[in-house]
Structure 1
Amino acid sequence: MDCSRLEYIKNVNDDGDVWAYEGYPIGAYFRLNFKESKDTGVDTHAFNLPKGSLIILSQKRPEYERYLTHVVQLVNEGSEDKPQRETGTWGIFRWVKVHWIADFDNISRIPLDKKEMRADWGFHNTKAKLLSSPSLMSQWGSIDALRAHLGEVFN
């Protein structure tokens, strides 16, 4: 997988003891949800993410640590996805295509977020965070170094 377009990491979770988006294999399309929150501008944020960007999905099941479970690509402009928005907590979404997915049958082979990313920047909302954020760059020095490392993780 070409990691030169990795731009973001996003927190995702499912209810209960299941993995979010587990049933979508490489090449599949699905609606990546963002939790509605008027105070944090999630709506504007989600629809301004650029088409073609790759996003790492990080998630935690209740009894486990946080894992890197998917790499997905935004396939539409936000303006194309926005008219399909639904009302409700999870009505904000962007269409994505799966480029990489973890082996959910073997949890020991799923990359640990904290180990691979070397940062703990908090996951208090569902916004996609830039990989070039100061907290990550303080650990990696450059986005190219981080992308090179992630290329080894996801290949």
Structure 2
Amino acid sequence: MNLERLLWTKNVRPSDGTWAYMNFNIGQLFKLGWKATANKKDYFNADQLERNDLILLRQHGYVSHLVKVLNRQAEYDDLTGDFIFYRIVEIVWKIDNIIPPSENYKADKIFDFPEVLHFMGGNAMKLQDLPTFQEAWNHRGGISAFQSHVESKLELI
């Protein structure tokens, strides 16, 4: 699988402590949500991703999904609740529904640096813009080396 568009990670943390998006399977689509804020900062974050970009979703210290962005821009959902900005994504890979997941899918193992566990909040983070990502991966070949590493860890080859 070609992961050259794997440029993002996003921490997902449902308020009820459950695991998000686990009821969807590979190939299925869902609305990946961003919390709304008064200054609409999160809308602009959701809108930064481009169509076909890939995002590693993390939750509870694990990588839970690899998703592909399908729509061209963030959309607004007028439903009640915290998450009203969203991107339509397709699941490319996901962990098994066994909770807790295998230790192989711990975020610090998939990313191969422990600082990833400190990437909190619900906004998408562009990997190449994160200083700790640069420190961990620039001397090993940068983003393309990371993408190959993730491909082998998720057994996407």
Normalising TM by the smaller chain, what interval? 0.7 to 0.9
Q: Gaps spanning 5+ residues in structure 1: where?
A: 61-65
* Cα shift at 1:154: 1.6
> Could you say if the C-alpha distance between residues 17 and 127 of structure 1 is closer, same or farther in structure 2, counting changes exceeding 3 Å?
closer
**Aligned residue in 2 for 1:86:** 78
Partner of 2:67: 72
Q: Give the equivalent residue in structure 2 for 1:113.
A: 107
Describe the superposition over 1:83-142 as per-residue Cα deviations: whole angstroms up to 9, x where unpaired. Answer: x43254211111000000001226125511122211425334211111212211210111
Which residue identity does 1:128 align to in structure 2? A
TM-score, normalization by structure 2 = 0.84
Q: Distance in 2 between matches of 1:38 and 1:17?
A: 25
In structure 2, the residue corresponding to 1:43 is in which secondary structure?
Answer: helix
Structure 1 contact 119–135 (Cα < 8 Å) conserved: no
* 8 Å contact from structure 2 (residues 104, 110) kept in 1: no
Q: Could you say which residue in structure 1 is the equivalent of 2:10?
A: 10
**Partner deviation per Cα, 1:21-63 (whole Å, 9 max, x = no partner):** 0011000000001111235711111123111100000001xxx
When residues 38 and 135 of structure 1 are mapped into structure 2, their CA distance, relative to the original with a 3 A threshold, is farther
Number of matched pairs:
147
* CA distance, structure 2, for counterparts of residue 2 and residue 77 of structure 1: 20
Once the two structures are overlaid, the 10-residue window that deviates more, 142-151 or 10-19, is: 10-19
Residue identity opposite 1:52 in structure 2: N
Q: Counterpart of 1:63?
A: none
Q: CA deviation at 1:68?
A: 0.2
1:127 to 123, 130, 152: 123
Q: Percent identity?
A: 27
Which aligned segments of 4 or more residues in structure 1 are displaced greater than 3 angstroms? Answer: none
